[in-house]
Structure 1
């Protein structure tokens, strides 16, 4: 990752010099714009449904089949863009029983219709394809398939493509800006003796009399295209129900008893999240944990689980406080995505902090539900050690480019900071619940988030969001002598102009709120030394000139 080189001078008694944003300019390719851009061939139609029907050969590591793509025309057109990775073969594309002409341009497939499709019309194409999908080297951090085996040598297969793109393994409009409004079916044929688990509800299975059995799943809700998944193994199925919500777990047979005990954590998690974020967003499709040969992924209603039945993150505490060892990170984090990322989705992956920041914050929320406020704040503060401040959290729009990985901990601490700016927990929890419910099953952007919290809090938080999301430095609270004995001044030092943010400090065991801005102001009390002040950095993600 490219680094930000920062120059600043911080001296007591002198105004700090503001750092300049010097993140090197990135060069993007034609392929990046094809995958990330919204040209007319993409915006002219709205996907209504995907019906995927494929066969997976574990020995040859191949896929063959088709995707029926139903869509509504929103602008008159005779050409649309569907995406499929270059290494995958197009066998044919059929519309009204006739093959269509198409042109491949790297990842993009530009499909031409013989006549113009009219606004408002409902259309469907069948896209036949085949090939060997890319195999991930280190899933889920790079996109692709994982072909593994269980302890008995049986195939154990999964796929994770967030960021890389769903078109790695099936033809799709590969943009977060458009989800199939009417859901999807995922039908996957696998060798007899194995099972496929995908999103939604199991419709049934059929022995195809050719050594393969097809497993049919249906999703009734809109779904991110990178969330559509398959999981192939000799699975054991555990069914449970919690307060009317179906809970289903698909695990390797050798882990069945272990899973029954370990996955009990799902129930208090659901109680916590539903109380804070609202009803589970995909009750019609149920909730599943599916054991995978990689660490985890937020596949909607079929959450990928590979944390080896350990507490923490593969047995480690990301916060460094010990508190992270009180829960299974993957269960909590990936399930939090059902609300933030799956239900509420960012239009462009440049705004993926909307997924990851709120979801990492859900870990803090769960900690507070289970273990109390103090432990939650300790956990939150510990997450700060994972922040690099190397690049802005917001990435580049229109080129399939995420921002810095700081979107996880820094995004979470931004939200925690806003909670303490609001300074009214009853109001805060109502706001967070309203945010989740207002944008349930919607696709939004950063401006929408900022506007919402400005409106609901009654505070102009724009400069706060901008400083944390668009720059690599965090607000620094500076103090200097005012020239009068025992009197000091304070001000924020930030890149964002006209920055305003209240901050709580402790002076002589008393909590005092300073209404700090970029302009120097006198402290409302006298003191001999700056070290007499404690800035509440466990509640506000800031630095201070102490």
Structure 2
């Protein structure tokens, strides 16, 4: 300790110094001011998707829809945790009119700019605080158009509607933090006219008549879910229920005109779940099923969590693909949209494995066929699968292109060739188990694969995952 004399300071100067020291240590009695949360998470392909400063833990969506007039009325209650002090925060919402916003039960100021709803609570939120935001809204939802020209969001039909969200369409029917990195649990209640069925993710908690010829369907998703995987479907569906041998509840809702064409493929659901549980580890959810819309509704299927949506009757391969996503894409979700190959490459390779395990073409033979362009083995073998590296699509309009699917699957087969079957299938099961109900990036996977298998896979990454041009046979 230094005992040298210290010059005396006047009382006002001492007070100032003490105040500055208190500010520096965060020990003042004054309220620490929050700052605005970021509008957008700077995703490589969708920079305005999602929002910064908080993470949503739970959504409670209470929706009222009448197919006769197309009007959607909703109340969304978001329970979130502040990751910083917040003076304001944003929600993603497209088109619909906001009627009221409350934070912790107190009316909040808000304004709209494009697809951003900015909320200003009456009092700043503290870092770590769990808070509830309630948004009342209504309107006739309009589809959200993707960069590749496809439509998503709330899609109407002649006698109902279906909500699909990949990549950002969920903002077309409920306000939220719409980026896959922010997963939450959900309760979705759909109130519709009698004679209609209303379906969402998870389990049906209740079905209740609410008067005036309307019925409320309450659905509950206990496992975390990315918002693009949330669905809501209204229609005169034919509903069938059951369970798999391991006890997973099955719930299928099929448009009457698609019932006959869907029967054979949907009958494979239990078998696929049991097979996937053997190959990839335990099925990650408590329920499974399907929503089959009329064939003209969409130009694609989507792996909405627990109940994939099909536009028209699916075949066995499509059902297999969408159910494989329940492990890869839904339970293990991408950290950003640049990581799409972790969804689609894995689900495509699951198709190859299913065929191999059921007396069809082996994965090795299919891999060779794509290298050779041999359409006698696979009709898509002469496609543009090598147009770009699967881990680096050239833009948002290419994240669902063929290289993400096929070359992504070929990356997995190259790992299998390098490490052998025992280590490869251990890798698949370990990846699904260790990242269950979480998010992961391509960098996470490459590091995990090398650590789990004990092999140096740098050449696979350099040539097949990130390399330009058409790779040569190994």
The verdict on a shared fold, with TM-score over 0.5 as the criterion, is yes
Relative to structure 1, is the Cα distance of residues 376 and 389 closer, same or farther in structure 2, using a 3 angstrom cutoff? Answer: closer
Deviation at 1:38, TM superposition (A): 8.0
Question: Structure 2 residue aligned with 1:458, among 435, 454, 457?
Answer: 454
Secondary structure of 1:222's counterpart equals strand
Relative to structure 1, is the Cα distance of residues 435 and 62 closer, same or farther in structure 2, using a 3 angstrom cutoff? Answer: same
Q: List alignment gaps of at least 5 residues for structure 2.
A: 1-38, 370-377
Cα deviation 1:134-185 (Å, max 9, x = unaligned): 2378999432333224xxxxx14212220233112110101111111xx111
Question: Structure 2 residue aligned with 1:72, among 72, 78, 81?
Answer: 81
Q: List alignment gaps of at least 5 residues for structure 1.
A: 1-29, 150-154, 312-327, 477-536, 541-546
Relative to structure 1, is the Cα distance of residues 410 and 75 closer, same or farther in structure 2, using a 3 angstrom cutoff? Answer: same
Contact 2:254/2:292 (<8 A) preserved: yes
Secondary structure of 1:393's counterpart equals coil
1:375 equivalent in alignment to 2:362:
yes
1:83-482 aligned at under 5 Å gives the runs 83-85=92-94, 87-135=95-143, 141-149=150-158, 155-180=159-184, 183-243=185-245, 244-253=247-256, 256=259, 259-283=262-286, 286-293=287-294, 294=298, 295-308=300-313, 311=315, 328-371=316-359, 374-380=361-367, 381=369, 382=378, 383-395=380-392, 402=399, 404-422=401-419, 424-476=420-472
**CA distance in structure 2 between the partners assigned to 1:118 and 1:37 by the alignment:** 26
**CA distance in structure 1 between the partners assigned to 2:322 and 2:415 by the alignment:** 23
Relative to structure 1, is the Cα distance of residues 198 and 169 closer, same or farther in structure 2, using a 3 angstrom cutoff? Answer: same
**CA distance in structure 2 between the partners assigned to 1:45 and 1:33 by the alignment:** 15
Cα deviation 1:216-270 (Å, max 9, x = unaligned): 1010000110111111111222122222222221223455566554422123212
**CA distance in structure 2 between the partners assigned to 1:377 and 1:463 by the alignment:** 19
Relative to structure 1, is the Cα distance of residues 390 and 257 closer, same or farther in structure 2, using a 3 angstrom cutoff? Answer: closer
Secondary structure of 2:217's counterpart equals strand
Cα deviation 1:338-371 (Å, max 9, x = unaligned): 0010001111111111111111111111112212
**CA distance in structure 1 between the partners assigned to 2:381 and 2:396 by the alignment:** 29
Secondary structure of 2:333's counterpart equals strand
**CA distance in structure 2 between the partners assigned to 1:401 and 1:50 by the alignment:** 30
Normalising by structure 1, we get a TM-score of 0.71
Secondary structure of 1:51's counterpart equals strand
**CA distance in structure 2 between the partners assigned to 1:196 and 1:141 by the alignment:** 24
Relative to structure 1, is the Cα distance of residues 146 and 375 closer, same or farther in structure 2, using a 3 angstrom cutoff? Answer: same
- The CA RMSD measured in Å over matched residues stands at 2.9
Aligned to 1:526: none
Moved over 6 A (4+): 136-140, 396-401
Contact 2:258/2:293 (<8 A) preserved: no
Relative to structure 1, is the Cα distance of residues 165 and 158 closer, same or farther in structure 2, using a 3 angstrom cutoff? Answer: closer
Contact 2:188/2:200 (<8 A) preserved: yes
How many residues are treated as equivalent by the alignment? 419
Contact 1:72/1:120 (<8 A) preserved: yes
Relative to structure 1, is the Cα distance of residues 347 and 137 closer, same or farther in structure 2, using a 3 angstrom cutoff? Answer: closer
**CA distance in structure 1 between the partners assigned to 2:211 and 2:460 by the alignment:** 62
Question: Structure 2 residue aligned with 1:52, among 52, 61, 72?
Answer: 61
1:36 equivalent in alignment to 2:72:
no
